[in-house]
Every structure is written in C-alpha cells, then in structure tokens.
Amino acid sequence: EVQLVESGGGLIQPGGSLRLSCAASGFTVSSNYMNWVRQAPGRGLEWVSVIYSGGGTYYADSVRGRFTISRDNSKNTLYLQMTSLRAEDTALYYCARGLYGSGSHYFDYWGQGTLVTVSS
C-alpha cells in the first residue's frame, strides 16, 4: 500500500528555517517524480517544487532561492528545506507522487500534510 507521511511543520518566526520530511512506503521515491504542494488557509493548491527521478529539480517562482527539495534514497524520504521564511509561506504542505501517462501529468498519491505557520 502506498503511503506518504509528512512531518516537520510547526510555528516559526519570519526569517527562520524549517525542514519538512515526507516518508514514503509502498514504492521507491527515487523512481518517481516527487512534489511539494502547499495550501494556505482558505486558499487553493499551489505547486511548490518537484524532484525528478534523474535528480532534476524545479521551484515555483515564489520559493526559488529559499527552498530546496531533496531526497534520501536510503530512507525513501523526500525533504523540503525552507529558509528565509515569510508570513506568506504559512500553509499546509503536502507531498505528492507525480506520474506522467496518458498524455497528462498527475499526482496519484498525497500525504495528509504538515502545517507550517510563520509568525512572530
């Protein structure tokens, strides 16, 4: 059974740093493309970052230069290192497995999310 479990969220002051983790089971993280997606309170979904099986990474303009996505193949875990956090980064952060097939990109499995609150 595929499962994604996020952790590492919490209350952090503006300018601070936080590392989110997403422990995967039932599949191999390094063989798939893995994403972070966030949702601010009462708002829609916002894609944050992706790491492809080959190691390539991409970031939304709103986080580029501040966030770093990575994975630990030995732990089958995805990470998101967040620095220089701002109030607008406050959101529920989901990790999601990405697939490409049938002519579309899609996220077939999602975790339950970890909440990041940036506030003084």
Report in angstroms how near the CB of residue 73 gets to other proteins at its nearest: 22
Between residues 7 and 17, which has the closer beta carbon with respect to other proteins? 7
Size of the site for other proteins (CB under 8 A): 24
* First-to-last C-alpha distance (Å) of the chain: 40
The length of the chain in residues reads: 120
Q: Hey, what are 23's tokens?
A: 């422990």
- How far apart CA 11 and CA 24 sit, in angstroms, is 24
Choose one: 7-15, 19-27, 74-82, 105-113; the region binding other proteins (CB under 8 A).
105-113
Please list every residue from 5 through 34 that binds other proteins, using CB under 8 A: none
- How far apart CA 80 and CA 72 sit, in angstroms, is 11
- Contacts with other proteins by CB under 8 A lie at 35, 37, 44-47, 50, 56, 58, 60, 94, 98, 101-108, 110-113
